[in-house]
Amino acid sequence: MKKNKWFYACLGAMAFGMFAFLSVSCSDDDKDEKPEEGEVVVTPEPETEYYILGTVTEAGKGLSGIEVKVNAETVRTDADGKFTVTGKAAGTYAIEAAPAGYLPQKTNVEIAAGAENRSVVTVALALTKKSEPVKVEPDKEVIVEDNSATNEEIVPPGETEPDKVVEDAPVTKAEVVIPAGALPKSGTGINEDGSANVSVTNFVPAPKEVSTKVDASEENKEVEKSTPLAAVQFEPSGLTFEKPITMAVANPIPGVTFAAGDMLLTYLNPDNGQWEATDNGVVYNAETDKYEAPIYHFSSYAMESAVKNTVSGVRVVKDEVLGEDSRDNTKNAKALTDIVLKYTEKSGWDYEGNLVETVKAALPGASTVTVNAMVAYVKTRMFAVMGSLSGVTSTERVYNTVNVNGYTQMNYVCYAKVRTTVLKIDVMYNRQPVTISVSAKRYTGADHQYTTVTYNPGHSGGQGTTN
């Protein structure tokens, strides 16, 4: 009996020792098994690019094949009159189009220092064919009107339906009244017989500048500026007169006028190429329903009306997702490479709300002609303020080509960025001052949110690096 007990005791001890050995061995083996290192493939930084999207038109229609000079580079418009320039650096881009037979147009686009990568600027140049000259005799009063082929379709105020308004075409026509005896005996533009060959061409001036920059101090601040009611190039430029002649512009809004203090006459100074204010007073002639101002020499002139505009700060619109992508590589050591992140850029601007209803509410009882004319006037003012035609364009672009390292989660989402511009126009209606206020949303670029999170596979749920 004792032998059996001894035997079983020895057998139990041997079994316990074997179990302990196996347990230690397995534990040591587990400690020796290390997870595979996660592969790291560096992702380059996104390229720095700024986009200028332009349009060249005539009477609201895109002109194809037009050469556009952008600094030292020359590009051509496509079949729709559009051109695109990709800038690699901030700065001022001088843009000019001057095809034969048309009045030249030029403007500047400023990509301000510190502008966000992938900022977008839209700009438009409206071209106008030159009018044919009319012979003016020195001893006769004559009225010279615009006869440009481009402006043949300008119709009387109010006859254009709101949805057919051409934003970058003149809203009204101008003429010049040259009295007898106004021509000098000799000098610039005077023929041997004492006559002069005079032309009058209505045109829409290019914006002075379109910029990505709005100083923080200017955000949400009401700023007064003037926009051209009518701009005219009088030829021959430099011709001076013995007595004042009269520039007359037809009132573009039947039943509505502008306060005298809101009208200004400017001219294009040939010495510096800048529009400058004159002291020549602009008056409204109720008998002719025209605005009139004296001029003493030929140049380009603009009869301008005052408006007020307010520009908001940039905001990210998170319900406008322009692109998104993700990769879950947290279970794998090997990196995922060459993943192209795309987004659909939005550029341009458009109105917020119903413009026709806004005008009707501001001008109660106004006729259809007056409402239509006021809408046309508002649309051409917005073109002057915004620097481009209304409408939003979508363009597919690549944000970056990225790599997702081993044990890493990548997330990408892109949102639209916008500013809001509020335009206020003061007019006189039924002998009472009225303010018409409209707003527009401009797309300025995109907000790119790109993040990666790397996990430590040796610690369940452990987080490593984030960028």
CATH number for the domain including 413? 2.170.15
Residue 291 counted as domain residue: no
In 3D space, the residue among 131, 114, 51, 149 whose CA is nearest the CA of residue 394 turns out to be: 51
Nearest-angstrom CA–CA distance, 89 and 166: 34
Nearest-angstrom CA–CA distance, 271 and 274: 8
Unique residue bearing structure tokens 């949303």: 441
- pLDDT cut 70: percent of the chain above it: 91
Tokens of 287: 């008998």
Helix (H) or strand (E) holding 374: helix 368-386
State the average pLDDT over residues 327-344: 97
Number of folded domains in the chain? 1
Ordered DSSP codes for 185-200 = SSSTTB-TTS-EEEEE
291, pLDDT greater than 70: yes
32, pLDDT greater than 90: no
Give the pLDDT score at 261.
85
Coil vs helix vs strand at 20 = helix
Give the pLDDT score at 143.
98
CB 409 within 8 A of CB 466: no
Give the pLDDT score at 391.
96
Residue 167 counted as domain residue: no
In 3D space, the residue among 442, 443, 437 whose CA is nearest the CA of residue 423 turns out to be: 437
Domain that holds residue 362: 315-466
Give the pLDDT score at 222.
95
Q: Which range in 14-18, 112-116, 184-188, 454-458 is most confidently predicted, on average pLDDT?
A: 184-188
Q: pLDDT grade, residue 215 (50/70/90)? A: confident
353, pLDDT greater than 60: yes
18, pLDDT greater than 60: no
Tokens of 2: 């004792």
Nearest-angstrom CA–CA distance, 364 and 360: 6
Give the pLDDT score at 334.
97
Residue 218 counted as domain residue: no
313, pLDDT greater than 90: yes
Nearest-angstrom CA–CA distance, 198 and 176: 10
Residue 196 counted as domain residue: no
Q: pLDDT grade, residue 460 (50/70/90)? A: low
Q: Is the peptide bond before 44 cis (omega within 30 degrees of 0)?
A: no
Residue 250 counted as domain residue: no
Give the pLDDT score at 260.
79
Give the pLDDT score at 157.
86
Mean model confidence pLDDT for the chain: 91
Per DSSP bridges, beta strands 61-62 and 67-70 are unpaired
Q: Which residue has the higher pLDDT, 117 or 6?
A: 117
Task: Express each pLDDT in 39-76 by its tens digit.
Answer: 999 999 999 999 999 999 999 999 999 999 999 999 99
Give the pLDDT score at 463.
52
Nearest-angstrom CA–CA distance, 183 and 196: 8
25, pLDDT greater than 50: no
Give the pLDDT score at 384.
93
Per DSSP bridges, beta strands 61-62 and 50-58 are antiparallel
Q: Could you count the other beta carbons within 10 Å of the beta carbon of residue 447?
A: 18
CB 317 within 8 A of CB 123: no
Give the pLDDT score at 216.
82
Q: Based on C-alpha coordinates, what's the Rg of the chain?
A: 35
Residue 71 counted as domain residue: no
Residue 434 counted as domain residue: yes
What are φ and ψ of residue 161, in 5° steps?
A: -65, 145
Task: Express each pLDDT in 221-249 by its tens digit.
Answer: 999 989 999 999 999 999 999 999 999 99
213, pLDDT greater than 90: no
State the average pLDDT over residues 305-331: 96
Q: Which residue has the higher pLDDT, 198 or 271?
A: 198
Q: Could you count the other beta carbons within 10 Å of the beta carbon of residue 458?
A: 9
Supply angle C-alpha 457, 458, 459, rounded to 5. 90
Give the pLDDT score at 20.
45
State the average pLDDT over residues 343-371: 97
- pLDDT cut 90: percent of the chain above it: 82
Residue 302 counted as domain residue: no
